[in-house]
């Protein structure tokens, strides 16, 4: 199964990605984690990405696309994946489509974890994280809405909305049901 996860910051997407990849038996591919691993190993891709990551900006598309392309060509990812953090723009979605077409494949589903800004704000402030001020959270939502709304439209024929308010187990069960996988 080839799926992409989308959701605003604080929706629990990373946690669900790990659980869903285990349940579906396919690798979890997180572009944020891949970038951090490349940066730690100081690879060409890591060095090219580092300054953007430090500024919390999107890494240029050529660098991101190259990294994703290489990862998708690895044997484990050829049978399926849970993709987390990519695509973030319609341009990246087009690129993903062409990479999959090279393999004669396409996405099975795009899971959208739905949660309101208010719920995320209450959760993160309750955790008391210093960098999670209301302004920071609001800005991330603004960016998410402007970047992601076009993606939801792009993927409207395979979009699977999932209510992300609840326990990890509840949300996983909803996602599996929505994907028609036995929970």
Which two structure tokens, joined as six digits, stand for 15?
């946690």
Minimum Å gap between C-beta 136 and ligand AMP is 13
Minimum Å gap between C-beta 90 and ligand AMP is 12
Report the residue number whose CB is nearest to ligand AMP. 32
Question: What long-range pairs does 125-128 form, CB within 8 A, spacing at least 24?
Answer: none
- What are the residues facing 81 on neighbouring strands? 2
C-beta separation of 145 from 137 below 8 A: no
The footprint of ligand AMP on residues 9-68 (CB under 6 A) is 31-32, 35, 52-53, 56-59, 64
C-beta separation of 35 from 53 below 8 A: yes
Minimum Å gap between C-beta 180 and ligand AMP is 27
- d(CA 115, CA 26) in angstroms, rounded, equals 25
Size of the site for ligand AMP (CB under 6 A): 14
Minimum Å gap between C-beta 23 and ligand AMP is 21
* Contact window for ligand AMP (CB under 6 A) among 15-23, 39-47, 85-93, 168-176: 85-93
**Residue 72 backbone dihedrals phi, psi, to 5 degrees:** -70, -20
The footprint of ligand AMP on residues 88-147 (CB under 6 A) is 88, 92
Which two structure tokens, joined as six digits, stand for 48?
């090219």
Query: Strand runs (DSSP E) across 91-143, as ranges?
Result: 109-114
Minimum Å gap between C-beta 117 and ligand AMP is 17
Give me the residues that bind ligand AMP (CB under 6 A), please: 31-32, 35, 52-53, 56-59, 64, 85-86, 88, 92
């Amino acid at each position: 199964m080839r799926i992409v996860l989308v959701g605003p910051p604080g929706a629990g997407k990373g946690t669900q990605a790990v659980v869903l990849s285990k349940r579906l038996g396919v690798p979890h591919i997180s572009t944020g984690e891949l970038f951090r691993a490349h940066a730690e190993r100081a690879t060409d891709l890591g060095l090219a990405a580092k300054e953007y990551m430090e500024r919390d900006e999107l890494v240029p598309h050529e660098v991101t696309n190259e990294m994703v392309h290489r990862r998708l060509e690895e044997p484990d990812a050829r049978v399926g994946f849970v993709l987390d953090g990519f695509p973030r723009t319609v341009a990246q979605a087009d690129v993903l489509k062409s990479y999959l077409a090279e393999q004669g494949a396409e996405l099975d589903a795009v899971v959208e974890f739905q949660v309101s800004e208010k719920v995320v704000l209450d959760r993160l402030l309750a955790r008391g994280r210093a960098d999670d001020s209301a302004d920071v959270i609001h800005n991330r939502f603004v960016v998410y809405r402007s970047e992601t709304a076009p993606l939801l439209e792009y993927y409207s024929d395979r979009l699977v909305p999932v209510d992300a308010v609840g326990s990890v187990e509840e949300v996983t069960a909803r996602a599996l049901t929505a994907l028609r996988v036995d929970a």
